Structure 1
Amino acid sequence: MCDDESDDEEDDNKGAVLKMAASAPPTSQAPPQPSTVYPSLQTVGGSELKEKEDNDAYNNLLKTALIQGLHPTLKNQTMTTCIAWETKPLSEVWAHVLHAERNQTDIEQRHTDKDSLPAQARHYKTLQEMYKKQKPNQDAVSQLLDLEFDARRTFIDSDALKEEDRPTKILDAYPCFKDLNNVMDELRRILDKGNRKYIAEVKKRWEDFCSKVQFYRVWKKVMKPPMTLDGVEFAIALFRALPILFPSPAALPKKVGHASEALLHVFQPTEDPNVYLQKRSLFSPVLLLDGSNCLVTIGTTPITTFAKEDLYEGLLYLMAYYYTLHLTYPKCVATLLSVI
């Protein structure tokens, strides 16, 4: 009987164990996986976060060193195309650098092609064709003169041209320089090629120069007070006074009564311009003023005219022709022209 009771008790214990086992979670079930919706939360923490911060600081250092070490042209192009480069990945900044380099290489290649002698010869031929028209497009002429500058200056400045032959041969080859706008623009190319405002700056400096010396001229009694003169009379007085204020040690050429004759001659009512030109001993550019217009002449050859009201700027026109045609200053006014 005891054996039967012990068996019943054992069966009751087994049943309780089975019930507990049934209510417990199955041991074979996999543990829950971390969320994949925010993967950064798995890595940004502890040592991983510090490593990321260190890498960001290093990349920022590399980007700054890369940008600052570029050639100024590439640097400007990269910073223009890669907006907010400080916050961009290093790889993206590097891609912009390579793009800027390719662009610059293309620009330099086009510049090389532009400056090649065959290319400049084509520009010269185009320029000649344009001047067969009655009214050439002056904007197009200016652009061609920019492109053909190096070859032209090599031709003009060479020793192959004698001083006395230079004006005729150059103006035959480049009739555009009979236009004052073109010859003034050539002065800009020679003295400050990249400065489009150069002529305006020169005119302003000339105005300042004249205002600073006019009282000195009056004080030296080589000129009347300017308030008693109109614009043209003031310009004539200015041309006549400047060689006195800035004298040259050289003696005057024969048949030249005053050094200002190398700059300006005012015709008298009974004077014949053709006779004057044939007797002129100086070969240099000069301004000739009659009752209505002013004429630019080189040697005995008339070049172009302009309004007498612009005589005040006439000396700048003379300087432009000296530079454009690569002419030597007359010794009697060399000091003055060197100062200007």
Structure 2
Amino acid sequence: MLDRLRAEAVAARRLPLLEVDAAVQEGAGRVMADAGEVVVDERLRLVLLCAHPRLSREAAAALTLRLVLGVATEDVARLFLVPTATMAARLTRARKRLADARFVVPPPAELAARVDVVADVAYLAFTAGYAPGSGADVLRTDVAAEAVRLVRVLRSVLPDGPWPELDALLALMLLQHARRDARVEDGRLVLLPDQDRSRWHHHEILEALDLLRPLVDARPAPYLLQALVAAEHAVAVSAEATAWDRIVDRYDELLALADSPVVRLNRAVAVAERSGPAAGLAALDGVALRGHRLPAVRAELLARSGRVEEARLAYDAALALCANEAESTHLRTRRGEL
């Protein structure tokens, strides 16, 4: 009897997902845009369906990452900078809010309102693939590539009109994804300054730059500014030739639009490259960020400053928090070189 009750409880929790699947199958071929395009991509349909107006933007993104794209709850929590237990509770609440929802493919008039949520999902999914928080992989190329594909499909079915942030998001993903083969060597993580740039996928970089050219003078927006930072790395002939001044300026613009610990961490790295490790450490003051990346950056800057004992302690802190095996190996190697 207990087994039967548990099975029924699991079935009740799964019901919204089964209804989504049924709606996808029944709605195959439904027109989704004024121009008459038809969405035949079922993964995009599922993402659009989970971006239900009943859910907040954050809850819809988290639920889609977990249930549609299969990102582990632990990694979803890292993407949202919250504890795993907190994210698990949020996912449960989101599923319950959709338990009696009627899942329908949004009509063209409502499609545009869901674009931002789908863009968030694609961006977070790409991050989960490009820099996985757990496991043995340096990157999960299949997850990152699926995120790129989702954005391409979404752009193909939207009504005619400018979609600058979506173009900027696609450019950002392409610029990052183009470096995938150079980021791994014999299973080891290879950082950007040490990558063999001849192994980058230059046709993807060119496509991204073509997307960005009409947007250079557009109104600043988060994905656009991040894409312009990535473009600076892509066009530099070497790590030494990178225009760090322009990158710091872009991060300053980004902070003005969307201040966050992650942006401040990335800005501190750029400041350190431009003005030295002491300036980078000063830029880290007051930054609070869950996970291993903040102590890892601090450790690197302390090591460059000659503060060896402090660097060891920071590397130990980073290692204690790092769940990705490739990154842990890299951190242990850097600590051993002190």
Name the TM-score class by shorter chain.
under 0.3
**TM-score of the pair, normalised by structure 2:** 0.22
Structure with more of its chain in helix, by fraction: 2
Larger radius of gyration: 1
**TM-score of the pair, normalised by structure 1:** 0.22
